[in-house]
């Protein structure tokens, strides 16, 4: 079984996965970190040198290999679930949790990460605000359809989010779907 966290940039997937992994005493994998380690480059460098299309190919391949394993918590990149094979892989492997946040909160978190020296490559030619609004509109139906649980992260501490996830997992039974 793999517990997957999905959601847009800035939804807190990596920080939540880290704390959840320590609470559940499970191993945690961040697919972006896996990609960076295998490519020996940062995500912005991969986007700049190879482009988004190549990044998506690398991302799908890494996810395919990670999802051959078991007993993991995986934080997926915000665009990973655009790939239909990835959608199936993560859904088939266990519970999927969608961490939600509204556009304004998401923009604020991305800007904070940027000022903390954690830049993310642009995904469109739009302003950050417009990009977040447009992509959330495009991706939310996908996050919704692939997930078993949806958690609104706005105004909650990491600890509160993790507690809520643990409660959801206690009631998790795919066979009743
Ligand atoms: C992306 C999100 C990023 C990373 C890449 C593309 C996206 O991951 O995979 O920059 O398309 O939303 P995070 O969601 O961890 O920031």
Torsion over CA: 126, 107, 104, 4 (sign): positive
* pTM above threshold 0.75: yes
* 101 has pLDDT over 60: yes
- Residue 32 Cβ contacting ligand 1 at under 6 Å: yes
CA of 7 to the centre of ligand 1 (A): 9
CA of 84 to the centre of ligand 1 (A): 17
pLDDT (tens digit per residue) in 66-84: 999 999 999 999 999 999 9
Place 176 in a pLDDT band, splitting at 50, 70 and 90.
low
Which residue, 73, 98, 103, 106, is CA-closest to 151?
98
* 173 has pLDDT over 90: no
Place 177 in a pLDDT band, splitting at 50, 70 and 90.
low
What average pLDDT score do residues 127-146 get? Answer: 98
Nearest atom in ligand 1 to the alpha carbon of residue 76 is 15
């Amino acid at each position: 079984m793999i517990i997957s966290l999905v959601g847009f940039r800035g939804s807190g997937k990596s920080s939540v996965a880290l704390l959840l992994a320590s609470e559940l005493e499970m191993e945690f994998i961040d697919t972006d970190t896996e990609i960076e380690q295998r490519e020996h480059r940062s995500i912005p460098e991969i986007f700049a040198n190879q482009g988004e299309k190549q990044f998506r190919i690398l991302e799908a391949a890494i996810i395919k290999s990670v999802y051959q394993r078991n007993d993991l918590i995986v934080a997926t990149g915000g665009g990973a679930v655009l790939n239909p094979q990835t959608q199936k892989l993560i859904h088939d492997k266990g519970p999927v949790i969608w961490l939600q946040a509204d556009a304004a909160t998401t923009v604020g978190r991305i800007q904070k990460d940027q000022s903390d020296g954690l830049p993310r490559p642009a995904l469109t030619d739009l302003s950050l605000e417009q990009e977040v609004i447009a992509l959330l509109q495009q991706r939310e139906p996908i996050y919704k359809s692939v997930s078993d649980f949806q958690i609104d992260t706005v105004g909650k501490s990491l600890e509160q989010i993790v507690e809520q996830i643990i409660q959801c997992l206690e009631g998790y039974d795919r066979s009743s779907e």
